[in-house]
């Protein structure tokens, strides 16, 4: 067991996987000579060579398109999008090519690739370095979407993503990179893609989150515990495939549910969770299903007061928990 934060867990896992399997190729803007904007691949080019650590032009469609070609010819590419905000030019490659490869070839071809993308706000990234993009991509059948909130999960899920025969979008919240550290199992630690995990057991209400919001929900639940309000916090970890069984099991136990996500409220992925609960656990509900999310404004501001207005935080979440618990 070794204590690591999330970004170190990702770096070490990627290094170990590349050292163990020479089919793994890293491609992205600045991943080579600069070692990536967050230094995840620092030193990789010197160790693994320019054929396996490829500095790409500033062209996300090209980065993902080349990675698809690599995947179709026996390699295991890990494509890095420098910030998730910049992934949108590659949307057609992800939607029309990578995610549909198995379906369109009747299973004859697979597209084993990982797309890493740092996401989320709360770091004064403003318009183009703060977006939460998961709702766009979790909508795409054939594409797995993973959002680890803990370092051990980051290691285990990244290993599983690299081994997966189909494309995986691996979202990493920038605010979580150095927010928390924990003991991580050494060796070939794998976490399966799909199952959620209950981070805190509770009886009064269920709270569902992923990424940074998992940590904020845990902080809020700690506050409410002092008020004798028991909150269960479920870290979804994976949005596609989504662990419906764990969601419904938790709601049927507590009778109340809320979903916390950083994206705009309208059309955010939390709405899908609300729909699942309403459709399959309606008889178990003892109150409305609540969403705590970002406001419906075009982008996250840079300045601190307005960024704070946009971001859900433990205080906002705790307030919503109190209201729901008293319903």
How many angstroms separate the first and last alpha carbons of the chain?
Answer: 44
- Buried residues in 201-238 as b, exposed as e (16+ CB within 10 A): ebebbbbbbbbbbbbbbbebbebbeeeebbbbbbbbbb
Active-site residues, by number, are 129
Q: Are the C-beta atoms of residues 280 and 223 closer than 8 Å to each other?
A: no
The C-alpha torsion from 292 through 293 and 295 to 301, rounded to 10°, is 130
81: DSSP letter: P
Residue 168 CB coordination number (10 Å) = 25
DSSP per position, 147-159: ---SHHHHHHHHH
Quote the CA–CA distance of 254 and 287 in Å, as a whole number.
11
Pull the structure tokens for residue 115: 């797309």
Pull the structure tokens for residue 303: 């300045």
With 0-12 / 13-18 / 19 or more C-beta atoms within 10 angstroms meaning exposed / middle / buried, residue 58 is exposed
């Amino acid at each position: 067991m070794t204590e690591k934060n999330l970004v170190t867990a990702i770096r070490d896992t990627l290094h170990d996987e590349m050292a163990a399997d020479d089919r793994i190729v890293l491609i992205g803007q600045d991943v080579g000579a600069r070692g990536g904007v967050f230094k995840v691949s620092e030193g990789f080019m010197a160790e693994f060579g320019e054929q396996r650590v490829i500095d790409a032009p500033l062209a996300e469609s090209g980065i993902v398109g080349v990675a698809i070609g690599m995947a179709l010819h026996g390699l295991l590419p890990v494509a890095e999008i420098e910030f998730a905000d910049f992934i949108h030019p590659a949307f057609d490659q992800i939607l029309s090519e990578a995610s549909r490869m198995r379906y369109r070839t009747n299973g004859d071809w697979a597209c084993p690739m990982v797309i890493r993308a740092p996401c989320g706000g709360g770091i004064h990234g403003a318009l183009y370095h703060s977006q939460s993009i998961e709702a766009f991509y979790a909508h795409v059948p054939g594409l797995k979407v993973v959002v680890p909130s803990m370092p051990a999960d980051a290691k285990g899920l990244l290993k599983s993503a690299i081994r997966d025969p189909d494309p995986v979008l691996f979202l990493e919240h920038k605010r979580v990179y150095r927010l928390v550290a924990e003991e991580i199992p050494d060796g070939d630690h794998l976490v399966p893609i799909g199952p959620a995990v209950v981070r805190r057991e509770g009886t009064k209400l269920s709270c569902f989150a992923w990424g940074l919001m998992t940590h904020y929900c845990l902080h809020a639940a700690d506050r409410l515990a002092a008020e004798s309000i028991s909150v269960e916090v479920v870290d979804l970890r994976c949005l596609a495939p989504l662990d419906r069984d764990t969601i419904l099991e938790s709601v049927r136990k507590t009778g109340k549910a809320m979903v916390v996500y950083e994206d705009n409220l309208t059309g955010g992925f939390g709405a899908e969770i609300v729909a699942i609960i309403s459709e399959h656990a309606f008889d178990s509900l003892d109150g409305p299903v609540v969403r705590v999310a970002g406001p419906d404004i075009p982008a996250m501001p840079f300045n601190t007061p307005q960024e704070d207005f946009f971001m859900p935080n433990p205080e906002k979440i705790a307030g919503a928990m109190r209201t729901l618990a008293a319903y």
